[in-house]
Amino acid sequence: MSPTLTVDDLAFEVLPSPRRKTVELTVERDGHLTIRAPEGTDDSVLTAFVQEKRFWLYQKIALKNSMRQAVATKEFVSGEGFPYLGRSYRLLLVDDQDVPLKLEAGRFRMPRAETERGREIFIAWYAEHALPWLKNRVRVFASRVGVEPARVEVRDLGFRWGSCGRAGTLNFNWATILLPPAIVEYVVVHELVHLHEDNHTPEFWQRVERVLPDYKQRKQWLAEKGAGYVVV
């Protein structure tokens, strides 16, 4: 099994797993293509699977590209809006304050001298505030799913909203805290259920549905609108 696979004009990162039993294609929110497959799967099997799913892939890629083009570049100037838990808060530049960024009285506040580091500062703030919020939601939903994760961590996961580590660690992208709470809860439940089921089998989605009966609507919202929230 090669680490990458190219089929005509489609290039994939191949992610093997000894726990996986099926092949799964994913068009990540940045348009990156991945194949998750059982460890040792022959490249010819993966190529045939991609060819079978080619029409679906082109549709998904077109949708992701249109969503990315719709995202406006943020500027770190007074009046610019930045999302947090689904709401947009205006940025106010100030002469001085005791921290690089704070959310106060319905506004993000940042010293003018820090604007060149604006993206770095916002990501650090999001990550810091995401961890306790996500830990709380994991605690609430873990009992409903019937699992007990080892740890909860927030990091830069690139194009993924979350991941479930082999040792029972749940990893969440710092950008999840930009999404509306109901959508973040879907991401949380999704990763918790992965502690039961490695793959997106019918049983996996049944477990998700038992906790979130409207998960399909939340999943669709995330697929269609989630990319628009990653704006810093």
The model's pLDDT over 171-209, given as tens digits with 9 standing for 90+, comes to 999 999 999 999 999 999 999 999 998 888 889 999 999
Residue 123 clears pLDDT 80, i.e. is over it: yes
- The answer to whether residue 229 scores a pLDDT higher than 90 is no
- In this prediction, residues 6-29 reach a mean pLDDT of 86
Same domain, 58 and 121: no
Residues 129 and 42 in one domain: no
Q: Which of 38, 70, 102 is the last residue of a domain?
A: 70
Q: In angstroms, how far is CA 169 from the centroid of its own chain? A: 16
> 66 and 153 share a domain?
no
pLDDT band at 74 (very low <50, low <70, confident <90, very high): confident
The b-or-e profile of 42-65 (16+ CB within 10 A means b, else e) is: eeeebbebbeeeeeebeebeeebe
The answer on 149 and 63 residing in a single domain is no
Domain of 38, in residue numbers: 4-70
Residues 122 and 224 in one domain: yes
Same domain, 36 and 133: no
Q: Which two tokens stand for residue 147?
A: 């699992």
Which residue, of 53, 70, 87, is where some domain finishes? Answer: 70
Residues 55 and 134 in one domain: no
Please report which confidence band the pLDDT of residue 67 belongs to, taking 50, 70 and 90 as the band edges: low
| Any domain includes 9 | yes
Q: What is the CATH number of the domain that holds 128?
A: 3.30.2010.10
139 shares its domain with 64: no
Q: Whole-model pTM?
A: 0.76
Give the Cα separation of 218 and 212 in Å (integer).
9
Asked whether residue 141 is domain-assigned, the answer is yes
